[in-house]
Amino acid sequence: MNYDESLEYIHSLERFGIMPGLERISKLCEKLGNPQEKLKIIHVAGTNGKGSTCTVCSNILRAAGYKTGLYISPYVTDFRERIQIDGEMISKEDLADRADIVKNTASEYEIKVTEFEFITAVAFLYFSERKCDYVVLETGLGGRLDATNVVSSPLACVLTCISLDHTEILGDTVEKIAAEKCGIIKRGVKVISYPYQLPEVSGVIEGYCARNSTVPIIPDVNKIKIKGLSVSGNEFTYGGLYLTLPLPGEHMVFNAVTAVEAVRAVLPDISDDAVSRGVAASVMPARLELISSDPLVILDGGHNEDCASALKNYINSVIPGRRITAVCSIMADKDYKKYLETVLPCFDSFTATKAGVPRALSSEELADLASRSGIKTECIPDPVEAVKNALDNQEGDSAVIVCGSFYLAGEVRNYVIERLKK
């Protein structure tokens, strides 16, 4: 298969949907020679902050001189964002070659895998063949039955902020969801937890750690001194070490220190210089991403209630008083009512659109829900047209925030960047 054929095949596996369980991925990895067992892995699970925590971990390891693999999801503009070594996406040729191997192996042994299982196997194979020193591995959904949990002996398990999401699969309480996330914990393996977990989540984490003969490492928030929050990032000290983080939003500070503690748990002698350079190099698309300062345009793919709260706090702390136009699409299987309830008071006008995926809520229904709050609302189904309209009508010190979905962010990001270059 060439690259385009590989992508077409991988996406065809969506028909199998989400099928939690380790039997298929275990068998597939076994037939591939268990490449995951040849890797030194930091395994990351949670509801929010997984991608940024993984990115900071990876960049600190890279700054220390280690060849570092990074496996994350979702992607924003290029599928290959999901598999990286030292900040470079897997090449189209390498992806196609490994996809061929995984496809042929699955076919030979009659193993029917999901899309996520397939690409996880591709990543394991690629990282192993390239002899990565370390791999930072993000779970896809949950933890206990997630395909990434085929890894038997990670160096560390990291739990980012845990809250309600994917309740139809993971459970309808935060305790049930936390239990699924804690399923990545292995006996005797170091566990690092986000510092502001809900009390009921902390109780679950402590219980799982106790049963697995380990004690959770939790960043000391008293050691955090925030020096400045801005549209482009944060300045803070952690235990006296000055850090600049180009990921905006106060919550990103806590994600970053979680990552710092994770790397220190694996490499106690990691230098402060590597930590500071790694944190300073950490950027990600569509995480309160500043596309332009003048005019002010921000892209945010967060899609649940906690993400909505983070967006609200960012607006109130960094750009208070600005007139804000939101362009929004959100998935129908998310708690979009809670999301809107949190963010709508922050906006002066709202444009409902629909990302080009079947799961997306219709722009008409989204517009109807928003208009009930009394906010000035437009309905423009085409995402690029919706963003174009918002930018065309931007004036003064107003801001445009594109939000609610990584799918939406991926569809419009290149358009916005190219337009604002002119």
Average of per-residue pLDDT across 114-123: 97
- pLDDT at 167 exceeding the cut of 70: no
Average of per-residue pLDDT across 334-347: 94
What is the distance between the alpha carbons of residues 137 and 123, in angstroms, rounded to a whole number?
10
* 158 and 244, same domain (yes or no): yes
What is the distance between the alpha carbons of residues 6 and 97, in angstroms, rounded to a whole number?
9
Average of per-residue pLDDT across 293-308: 92
Average of per-residue pLDDT across 88-109: 98
Residue 36 is classified by DSSP as G
Q: What angle do CA 280, 283, 285 make, to 5 degrees?
A: 170
Predicted pLDDT at 82: 98
Residue type, 135: V
Q: In what order do the strands lie in the sheet with 324-328?
A: 289-293, 296-300, 399-403, 324-328, 349-352, 376-379
> Is residue 17 exposed (0-12), middle (13-18) or buried (19+ Cβ within 10 Å)?
exposed
Among 387, 123, 401, 410, residue whose Cα is nearest residue 285: 410
Average of per-residue pLDDT across 232-249: 97
Average of per-residue pLDDT across 151-175: 88
Which residue range forms the structural domain that includes residue 377?
A: 289-421
Average of per-residue pLDDT across 2-9: 96
Last residue of a domain, one of 280, 302, 322: 280
* 209 and 347, same domain (yes or no): no
- Alpha-carbon Rg for the chain in angstroms: 21
* 149 and 274, same domain (yes or no): yes
Q: How confident is the model at residue 303 (pLDDT cuts 50, 70, 90)?
A: confident
Q: How confident is the model at residue 94 (pLDDT cuts 50, 70, 90)?
A: very high
CATH number of the domain encompassing residue 337: 3.90.190.20
Q: How far is CA 31 from CA 34, 36, 130, 264, in A?
A: 7, 12, 19, 34
For the chain, the straight-line distance linking the first and the last C-alpha, in angstroms and rounded, comes to 38
Residue with tokens 């949670």: 46
What is the distance between the alpha carbons of residues 190 and 195, in angstroms, rounded to a whole number?
15
DSSP symbols for 195-216: TT--HHHHHHHHHHHHHTT--E
Q: How confident is the model at residue 20 (pLDDT cuts 50, 70, 90)?
A: confident
What is the distance between the alpha carbons of residues 296 and 320, in angstroms, rounded to a whole number?
13
- pLDDT at 15 exceeding the cut of 80: no
Q: How confident is the model at residue 364 (pLDDT cuts 50, 70, 90)?
A: very high
Last residue of a domain, one of 280, 311, 339: 280
For the chain, what is the mean pLDDT?
A: 95
- pLDDT at 80 exceeding the cut of 70: yes
Q: How confident is the model at residue 415 (pLDDT cuts 50, 70, 90)?
A: very high
pLDDT, one tens digit per residue, over 382-399 is 999 999 999 999 988 899
Name the pTM for this structure. Answer: 0.95
* 237 and 311, same domain (yes or no): no
Phi first, then psi, for residue 236 (nearest 5°) are -160, 165
Question: What is the largest distance, in Å, between two alpha-carbon atoms of the chain?
Answer: 62
CATH number of the domain encompassing residue 10: 3.40.1190.10
* 237 and 265, same domain (yes or no): yes
- pLDDT at 243 exceeding the cut of 80: yes
Q: How confident is the model at residue 92 (pLDDT cuts 50, 70, 90)?
A: very high
* 97 and 13, same domain (yes or no): yes
* 203 and 258, same domain (yes or no): yes
Predicted pLDDT at 334: 87
* 56 and 152, same domain (yes or no): yes
The structural domain count of the chain equals 2
Beta carbons within 10 angstroms of residue 384's beta carbon: 15
Predicted pLDDT at 170: 78
Average of per-residue pLDDT across 340-344: 96
> Is residue 226 exposed (0-12), middle (13-18) or buried (19+ Cβ within 10 Å)?
exposed
Last residue of a domain, one of 210, 245, 280: 280
* 200 and 241, same domain (yes or no): yes
* 276 and 295, same domain (yes or no): no
Residues 6 or more apart whose CB falls under 8 angstroms from that of 393 comprise 325
- pLDDT at 316 exceeding the cut of 80: yes
- pLDDT at 422 exceeding the cut of 70: no
* 372 and 264, same domain (yes or no): no
* 30 and 83, same domain (yes or no): yes
